[in-house]
Amino acid sequence: MGTVFRIESIEELYNQIWYITLTVSDEIDADINWLVDRCQKELSDTQITLQTLGVFFAELGKFDQAESYYKLLITDESLTPPEITRIHNYLGLVYSKKDNPEKALYHYKIALERSTQAGPTGTRDTNILKKLPLLLKEPSDENSPRTNLDCFYARSDNYDEALSYFEGSRQSHPKDSEFHNNIGSVYYHRNDYDKGLKHFRKALEIGLNEFDNRDPALLRYSNNIALALSHINAMA
């Protein structure tokens, strides 16, 4: 991102060999300028890694570019096992944004399996992880009043009140996967990632017996498991 070039002309010489004329440009693309500013402001205390660029492609809404970048990056034979695990996790997030639950689940499951086998990675990229959202059920007029109230508290910034609400209604949700995903999100936002992970895993366990493999609920639970594990590993 040090120098910006403008493409002046493209000409095919022969047999798919192309001649491209470039000129140095002083005009910096607005997206690149925004990206540099965000990197400087938000990642000043974070180690910049090869995975960071893909995260910011996603933040720009350029999910196709993020996908292509990660798929290319994961072929690098010099990557460490923890780096490969994180790339699978990021690919899951990208496919979630692209509404491709099958591919998202595929990469989340690989990331989960690898992180469980490998244990703590020792990578301290929690500033980046905080930018990645948990996936929660949305309030809707099709939901029951109880479900919408659950959705409200799962998104509440008053974590003590939300936790009190969910703990008080635990008996009403003994086998409710969304309940465990919601209370897990409260623990997660209280930085109690171990308890959050416990509930996210319980949500997935119940959900696998409740929904088919294409249901978006399973995508939410797998996403949140991967994020909680990433935080736990990053702090180890």
Q: Taking the CA atoms of the chain, what radius of gyration do you get in angstroms? A: 21
| Integer Cα distance of 152 and 9 in angstroms | 54
Task: With beta carbons less than 8 A apart as the criterion, state whether 207 and 101 touch.
Answer: no
Task: With beta carbons less than 8 A apart as the criterion, state whether 98 and 117 touch.
Answer: no
Give 194-216 pLDDT, tens digit per residue: 999 999 999 988 988 888 877 88
Domain assignment present for 106:
no
Q: Can you give the residue range of the structural domain that contains 37?
A: 1-42
The number of distinct structural domains making up the chain is 2
Domain assignment present for 82:
no
Domain assignment present for 63:
no
Closest of 152, 190, 194, 191 to residue 169, by C-alpha? 152
Model confidence pTM above 0.75: no
Domain assignment present for 70:
no
Task: With beta carbons less than 8 A apart as the criterion, state whether 141 and 172 touch.
Answer: no
The two tokens of residue 134 are 């948990």
- Name residue, tokens 């500013």: 37
Give 149-168 pLDDT, tens digit per residue: 888 888 888 889 988 888 88
